[in-house]
Amino acid sequence: MGRQLLLEHIAEPGIETFAVYRKKGGYASVEKALKTMTPDQVTEEVKISGLRGRGGAGFPAGMKWSFLDRKSEKPRYLVCNADESEPGTFKDRYLMEKIPHLLIEGMITGSYALGAKTSYIYIRGEYMYIVGILEKAIDEAYANGFLGKNILGTDYSLDLYVHPGAGAYICGEETALLESLEGKRGNPRLKPPFPAVSGLYASPTVVNNVETIAAVVPIINNGGAEYAKIGIGKSTGTKLISASGHIKKPGVYEIELGVPVEEFIYSDQYCGGMLTNRPLKAVVAGGSSVPILPADLILKTAKGEKRLMTYESLSDGGFVSGSMLGSGGFIVMDDTTCIVRNLWSFARFYHHESCGQCSPCREGTGWMEKVLHRIEHGHGHMGDIDLLVDVAKKIEGNTICPLGDAAAWPVASAIRHFREEFEYHVKYPEKIKNPKHFAIEPFLSEKKLELVN
């Protein structure tokens, strides 16, 4: 299955406890960093590794760390974004639930590199049971001298806290997260200033995803250069993928970046192929916010090359024929899937989760939900299809945070690749109103659409 850096010991009985985690080599990166490396050397190893943010944006983590204003006299903070709310993504939950000390170790090592004396794990409100798991692990770390005053006898001290949110997708955006952490309404901030200069409590702050921070542990243990040898090109290391949908083996997989998409879907070591062996219709590769791709384009690029599980390969072709690796929420759909119904479900989510601060997002997400509801329930008009495209264009790029883009991209890509399906809903409303689950087959040779019995 390839090299396992984060999930290597995930099945070890008792790995959630300090004793077992320590026995398996846990907290070695903290010892190495604090006793043999300077903070700048830790940051440099992360830069050398080529690690990119695993929360969706894919920005180089080491570069983000280097932007931190180290000349400021204000305290510095490392904040972990554990507000995992992207539909289709559940890898961070798995990591925190099964091996919480890995995240805590990464937080300590990362905080040392940044010079943070206080750090936070901001976790989504729906993960309340994981708050207890994390706090128990943090208490164990304090009891064994890895948190608190003068860690391991050095002059470095760190306090770590878990802060649950109230269940808002918008708080996955780093500045909205910081607003919430400060006790305010979770509205995204205008940038600049960026968090690296003015973040939590107007102080220099780095916000990283759970998986990103956990990956710091093997990077420091093995060296950035060794980590960079895994993967392809600028997509280095391993990546956790949340696989769901019409596959035989849904779950969380750690892959070496560069695995062909076809192998990931059909290989027994990963998804195990299509459930009930029906044909593949489409895939949402990186969570609900990324463009959907039909079967032919998710398996191969527009150039006819094998599509790989990398940032570059999945985005090859731009939004016309490509997608994004995003947060790794890999949703597989067979030919019984109704694309319109799926898109309407996504649109309902984004309308509900919009904070309402920006007019294009506040109004546009509502319009997209209404129009998709109309089409899906047999009341649509042909003009509605182009109306959806127009509304999506007016949202994209016109909001403070990326939620507007996240709502617009699925709509634009679904219509681009499956327009005939939207037209079918408009032409045959009497069939669409049938409450029985239905789906629309791809075009037959006669260019006709038929319902699946």
Over residues 418-439, the pLDDT tens digits come to 999 999 999 988 777 554 444 4
Which CATH number goes with the domain that contains 344? 1.20.1440.230
Domain that holds residue 147: 18-229
Q: Which residues contact 83 (CB under 8 A, 6 or more apart)?
A: 122, 123, 124, 165, 168, 169, 171, 172, 177
Are 90 and 198 within one domain? Answer: yes
pTM of this prediction? 0.93
Are 259 and 160 within one domain? Answer: no
Are 132 and 225 within one domain? Answer: yes
Counting Cα atoms < 13 Å in the Cβ hemisphere of 108 gives 31
pLDDT exceeds 80 at position 410: yes
Segment holding 240, helix H or strand E: strand 238-245
Are 374 and 396 within one domain? Answer: yes
User: Would you state the pLDDT for residue 92?
Assistant: 97
Nearest Cα residue to 434 out of 342, 343, 338? 338
Which CATH number goes with the domain that contains 84? 3.40.50.11540
User: Would you state the pLDDT for residue 440?
Assistant: 47
Over residues 435-444, the pLDDT tens digits come to 444 444 443 3
Report the domain count for the chain.
3
Q: Which tops the pLDDT comparison, 141 or 303?
A: 141
Are 343 and 327 within one domain? Answer: no
Nearest Cα residue to 70 out of 40, 28, 38, 27? 40
Please check whether residue 450 lies inside any domain of the structure: no
Please check whether residue 7 lies inside any domain of the structure: no
Over residues 76-135, the pLDDT tens digits come to 999 999 999 999 999 999 999 999 999 999 999 999 999 999 999 999 999 999 999 999
Least confident of 47-51, 176-180, 345-349, 447-451: 447-451
Are 43 and 120 within one domain? Answer: yes
Please check whether residue 384 lies inside any domain of the structure: yes
Average pLDDT over every residue of 316-341:
92
Least confident of 1-15, 199-213, 221-235: 1-15
User: Would you state the pLDDT for residue 433?
Assistant: 59
Average pLDDT over every residue of 280-287:
96
Average pLDDT over every residue of 278-298:
95
User: Would you state the pLDDT for residue 383?
Assistant: 97
Please check whether residue 167 lies inside any domain of the structure: yes
pLDDT exceeds 80 at position 332: yes
Please check whether residue 364 lies inside any domain of the structure: yes
Are 79 and 143 within one domain? Answer: yes
User: Would you state the pLDDT for residue 317?
Assistant: 87
Average pLDDT over every residue of 357-377:
96
pLDDT exceeds 60 at position 300: yes
| Per-residue pLDDT band at 327 (split at 50, 70, 90) | very high
Percent of the chain with pLDDT over 90: 90
User: Would you state the pLDDT for residue 434?
Assistant: 54
Are 49 and 127 within one domain? Answer: yes
User: Would you state the pLDDT for residue 304?
Assistant: 85
Percent of the chain with pLDDT over 70: 95
**CB crowding 296-321: b at 16 or more within 10 Å, else e:** ebbbbbeeeeebbbbbebbbbbeeeb
